[in-house]
Amino acid sequence: MTAPAVALVQAVWKRPGGRVGTIALVLLALLALGGPLLLPSPTAQGDLLHEALLPPGVGHLLGTDQLSRDVLSRIVSGLRLSLVIGLASALLAVVLGAAVGLVAGTRAGLVDAVLMRTVDALLAIPRLFVLLLVLAVWDRVPLPALVLLLALTGWYGTSRLVRAETVRLRGEDFVRAAEALGAGRMRIALRHLLPNVAAPILVAGTLGVGDVILLEAGLTYLGLGIRPPTPSLGGMVLDSRSVFVTAPWTSIFPGLVIVLTVLSVNLVGDALREALDPRST
Amino acid sequence: MNWLARRALQAAGTALIALTLLFFLVRSLPGDPLAILSEDRPLTSEQVRDLQRRYQLDQPLGSQFVAFVGGALQGDFGTSIQYGRPVRQLVLERLPRTLLLGAAVLLINFTLGLWLGVQQALHRGRPIDRVLTTLSLAGYATPSFWLGLMLVLLFAVRLHWLPAAGSLDPGLESAGVASVFGDRLRHLVLPALTLAAVSIASSMRYQRAAMLDALRQPYVIAARARGLTDRRVVWGHAWRSALPSVLTLFGLWLPILVVGAVFVEQVFAWQGLGSLTAGAAAARDYPLLMGTAVLATAAVVTGSFLSDVLHALLDPRARAE
């Protein structure tokens, strides 16, 4: 790792929130990756008569659901899916937002105006409603398309941040010097401007992971995201609705894992923001 | 009021572009908006043509667009597939419940939330500040649909303190005003608490930052030096100067509420716009969804316009920008 990256990791680690969030995230990632090696299959059903809705105990640490499947196994699979979707969508969204922001920021005039007016309008449409509309018309959306949809609805804020930083930096001496030396627009954007707007991009990307995980869980809860039999955290809460009064473990634990995951990501994101911009505290 | 006219024009422009984007978004999807109607039984080609005429899908895209924008401006979004009734009528029926829930959450966020934010700023960096920050972040990280279920489990199923769903006990429909009011209030508690818990973080955080900023201003230090009590310094001077920027929260808060209500109303069977939207999504009722999406967009644009206007009224510097 390069020196600024090491310094950043150290700065995050120095903050209590950043440290707790990092440790929790590492543990959750280990669980998501290593869990399947130790646990029964998340889709395996036992004896429906005797093994359905078992309370947490020795055989099944977090109990079983109404189809006698192991709740912990399903949580681990759902967690892995949530993390994959969250990371992939947030990464794509940030790349897209940075690209649009850089283009708008370096090309003043009409291109800038059109892009930013469009972003204003996009920001005015609540993200959930766009996704509901798309998913209501597009039945049984495949996972890569869902990831793409979450990314395509999550880049607007980043593009604004990056544009504002780019406009601010455009007048700085080092950019003018590069221009005077004959560097092209592309080279200036990627070599000189991008590294200097990396901080807000990093923060927006991290916080974006949590937003995506919550959104995906919500969409799945409404019956529109991940479809059964694929285990997902939101889907588990949905499935538990008919039994959660008598078997609360089917609903408590998947929800708790969502909270833990999103909270850990946001704690790291907050620590990053504080480390990069000490004035914000 | 040159500034006001410019800002209003900008809001109208944003809304128009947003409408355009919504229209072309739905039309560019790989799917048939009317597919849900032919799911159970195949339609004859005559029926399909009739439906396409009814939803104007047989017209060229350009005139469909003009009809859509024209309809949207008059609040006309066609007929709901699921209910077979005008979208406008359904929306108007459900609006009061959502406004009631929204008002309750607004009240909590703008009293408790702002007060907590001020307390955090006054105790910056101390344990109480850290605990409140972590708690509000945890609320922000909590899926509202799950929190709603957990509160039902605790307060309705286990403790029997509050009703689990609905907005009025069916037996009370002909009861006196006082008992109906009391019962409505009891039904409101859990949905409002759920929505407040997941959204209060933004008001706390915003107020905390604005207050910290205000406490650093020279006149606050001067007020302290003059020997004013802490209470007068905090609420009479610092908080008042932090208020304009806190008011812009209104624009931030509205979308959170509109979106949050979709899940919370669904969990609590609260008959508002949120549960209407969730039901429309589940039934793939796309005219109804389009109607609520446009309404939500209008709410966001109006909210941010109003918060800018309020901000400008209280802080003339904002008008110069």
**In this predicted structure, what is the pLDDT of residue B59?**
73
Q: Do B209 and A280 touch (CB under 8 A)?
A: yes
Report DSSP state, residue A190. Answer: I
pLDDT tens-digit profile of B122-179?
888 889 998 999 899 999 999 999 999 999 989 888 888 888 777 777 766 676 777 7
B278-282 contact pairs (CB < 8 A, 24+): B278/A222, B279/B82, B280/A132, B280/A136, B280/B80, B280/B82, B281/A132, B281/A135, B281/A136, B281/A222, B281/A223, B281/A224, B282/A222, B282/A223, B282/A224
What value does the mean pLDDT of chain B take? 83
Residue A147 φ then ψ, to 5°: -60, -45
Is the separation of the CB atoms in A159 and A204 below 8 Å? no
| Torsion sign (Cα): B281, B283, B286, B289 | negative
Report which of B186, B65, B25 is spatially closest to residue A122, judged by C-alpha positions: B25
Cα B189 to the center of its chain, rounded Å: 17
The answer to whether residue A279 scores a pLDDT higher than 70 is no
Contacts of B280 in chain A (CB under 8 A): 132, 136
Determine the distance in angstroms separating the CA of B65 from the nearest CA of chain A, rounded to an integer.
17
Q: Do A224 and B263 touch (CB under 8 A)?
A: no
Residue B3, judged by CB atoms within 10 A of its CB (0-12, 13-18, 19+), counts as: middle
Residue B148, judged by CB atoms within 10 A of its CB (0-12, 13-18, 19+), counts as: buried
Q: Do B263 and A139 touch (CB under 8 A)?
A: no
CA dist., res. B95 & res. B74, Å (int): 17
**Angle, alpha carbons B213-B114-B234 (nearest 5°):** 50
Residue in chain A lying closest to B18 (CA): A121
End-to-end CA distance of chain B: 14
Q: Do A129 and B209 touch (CB under 8 A)?
A: no
Q: What band does B37 get if pLDDT is binned at 50, 70 and 90?
A: low
Per-residue pLDDT, averaged over A59-63, amounts to 80
pLDDT tens-digit profile of A207-247?
999 999 999 999 999 888 888 888 999 999 999 888 888 88
Q: Do B300 and A135 touch (CB under 8 A)?
A: no
A63, two tokens? 């109990």
Confidence (pTM) = 0.89
pLDDT tens-digit profile of B81-99?
888 899 999 999 998 888 8
Where does chain B have alpha helices with state H?
Answer: 2-27, 45-54, 61-73, 87-108, 114-122, 127-140, 144-151, 177-215, 218-225, 230-231, 239-247, 249-267, 273-282, 286-314, 317-320
Distances (CA, A) of B230 to B211, B215, B311: 14, 11, 26
Residue A142 φ then ψ, to 5°: -70, 155
B22, B25, B123, B146, best to mutate vs chain A, most A CBs in 10 Å: B146
A129, A239, A262, A265, best to mutate vs chain B, most B CBs in 10 Å: A129
What is the three-class DSSP state of A235? helix
The answer to whether residue A281 scores a pLDDT higher than 60 is no
CA dist., res. B200 & res. B79, Å (int): 36
pLDDT tens-digit profile of B303-318?
888 888 887 887 777 6
Count how many pairs of residues, chain A against chain B, have C-beta atoms within 8 Å.
158
Q: Do A129 and B26 touch (CB under 8 A)?
A: no
Residue in chain B lying closest to A239 (CA): B146
Q: What band does A65 get if pLDDT is binned at 50, 70 and 90?
A: confident
Beta-carbon count within 10 A of B45 CB: 7
Helix (H) or strand (E) run with residue A209 in it: helix A198-221
A252, two tokens? 């408590």
Q: Do B293 and A120 touch (CB under 8 A)?
A: no
CA dist., res. A178 & res. A192, Å (int): 8
Given A123, A251, A262, which is nearest B149 (Cβ)? A251
pLDDT tens-digit profile of A72-127?
889 999 999 999 999 999 999 999 999 999 999 888 789 999 999 999 999 999 89
pLDDT over 90, % of chain A: 42
Given B15, B146, B277, which is nearest A237 (Cβ)? B146
Residues in A 8-27 with any Cβ partner in B closer than 8 A? 16-17
Determine the distance in angstroms separating the CA of B176 from the nearest CA of chain A, rounded to an integer.
33
The answer to whether residue A205 scores a pLDDT higher than 60 is yes
Determine the distance in angstroms separating the CA of B10 from the nearest CA of chain A, rounded to an integer.
9
Q: What is the CA radius of gyration of chain B?
A: 24
Determine the distance in angstroms separating the CA of A212 from the nearest CA of chain B, rounded to an integer.
11
CA dist., res. B299 & res. B302, Å (int): 5
Decide which of B160 and B250 is more confident: B160
